[in-house]
Amino acid sequence: MSGRWLFTKVGAAVLTLIFVLIFNFFLFRAIGDPTTQLARLPGATDKEIEQLKSDYGLDKPLLGQFADYVGDTATLDLGISQNTREPVWNEIVDALPWTLLLVGTGTLLATLIGAWMGVKAATKRGTKTDDGLLGFSLFTYAAPEYWIGIILILLFAVAWPIFPAGQQVTPGVEFASWFDEALDVVDHLILPATAMTLMLLGQYFLIMRSSMVDVLTEDFITVKRATGLSRERVINRHAVPNALLPLVTLSAIQFGAVAGGAITIETVFSWPGLGELSFNAINDKDFPMLQGTFLVFSFGVIFANLLADILYFYLDPRVQSR
């Protein structure tokens, strides 16, 4: 049974990815005519453009071009950046770890803090604590994350300069050990990761809170209290594990927002990840790079969704027997 379930989920993910490829291909080939981009090369003659066209396979029929595109993508050939003249894939490989570091830290902190806040609010429902947490999370939900990032810079890098305002390491410093370098990276990570955490916190909090409120009305909670368990233990051992299940599934809808946040927050903090690559590609009209980062972002979100499904599968015994 479980093999089949997994197969369906993986199949759906692959199908979504195929549609990303199709979309990506047609958007950049059909709407954004690549020859106009090639013609932007200064001093290009017609002959050179023809040469380039055949280099890029643009003289072939559309279906053939698509097959080439899929083949190239599968072999990680995402073209050459029009801006840096480097293979897009190489730049993405350099940037990816930084994005994963930022996004991973932010998601982890937001999940932990958001879930903890949700439990607090649900168990103190209707009190000032609950109102305060609700208000705070609504504010972080409504505030643009890049604006929060800029405010953090204003406060903690300019007005009270305790953290660096941008980049991932202090430039031009020879570090005595890898540990010193890691500490320097953490120092640079704190502000952007805080912005990322604040951006995601509200949603996690709201999901956890309503999930806890639901679980706390279930009969088994009363039964557990009737067996003589303390309120704290009923909450920690029984209510929270049950309330976490919706958090896992519903948090999947956040992954798209995470990708968006990576772009804006990395821009604000000059964090050298995929987001900054995208931002530079937007301003330089570097289409191969834009196409490449979009592909990687989409792939990442689809993959994260699949992971959330699998995690849910292992957490909820009710799914497994289906």
Residues 194-253 that bind other proteins (CB under 8 A): 210, 213-214, 218-220, 222-231, 237-238, 241-242, 245, 253
3-state helix, strand, coil in the chain (%, to 5): 80, 0, 20
At 47, the amino acid letter reads: K
283 part of the interface to other proteins, by CB under 8 A = yes
Judged by CB, which is closer to other proteins: 193, or 206? 206
User: Shortest Cβ distance from residue 165 to other proteins (Å)?
Assistant: 6
For residues 320 and 305, is the Cβ–Cβ distance under 8 A?
no
Rounded CA gap, 12 and 19, in Å? 11
**Strand intervals (E) in 58-217:** none
In the numeric block, which tokens belong to residue 52? Answer: 């380039």
* Min dist. Cβ of residue 238 to other proteins (A): 5
Least distance to other proteins, CB of residue 304, Å: 10
Q: Under the criterion CB under 8 A, does residue 111 sit at the interface with other proteins? A: no
Establish if 298 lies at the interface with other proteins (CB under 8 A). yes
Q: Give the residue with the Cβ less far from other proteins, 27 or 181.
A: 27
Q: Could you give the CA distance from residue 312 to residue 307 in angstroms, rounded to a whole number?
A: 9
CA distance 219 to 5: 30
Q: Hey, which residues between 125 and 184 contact other proteins (CB under 8 A)? A: 134, 138-139, 141-144, 146-148, 150-151, 153-154, 157-159, 165
- Out of 120, 169, 249, 256, which residue is the one contacting other proteins (CB under 8 A)? 256
From 73, 105, 137, 264, residue interacting with other proteins (rule: CB under 8 A): 264
Measured over the CA atoms of residue 90, residue 93, residue 96 and residue 98, the dihedral's sign is negative
Q: Does 268 bind other proteins (CB under 8 A)?
A: yes
Smallest distance from the beta carbon of 96 to other proteins, in angstroms?
A: 15
- Nearer to other proteins by Cβ, of 43 and 228: the residue is 228
Q: Name the DSSP letter for residue 251.
A: G
- CA atoms of 264 and 92, how far apart (whole Å): 17
- Does 115 contact other proteins by CB under 8 A? no
Among 302, 308, 309, 312, binds other proteins (CB under 8 A): 302
Stretch that binds other proteins, among 86-94, 103-111, 189-197, 276-284 (CB under 8 A): 276-284
What single string gives the DSSP state of each residue in 86-128? SBHHHHHHHHHHHHHHHHHHHHHHHHHHHHHHHHHHHHTTTSH
Return the axis-axis angle of helices 178-216 and 128-142, rounded to nearest 10°. Answer: 120
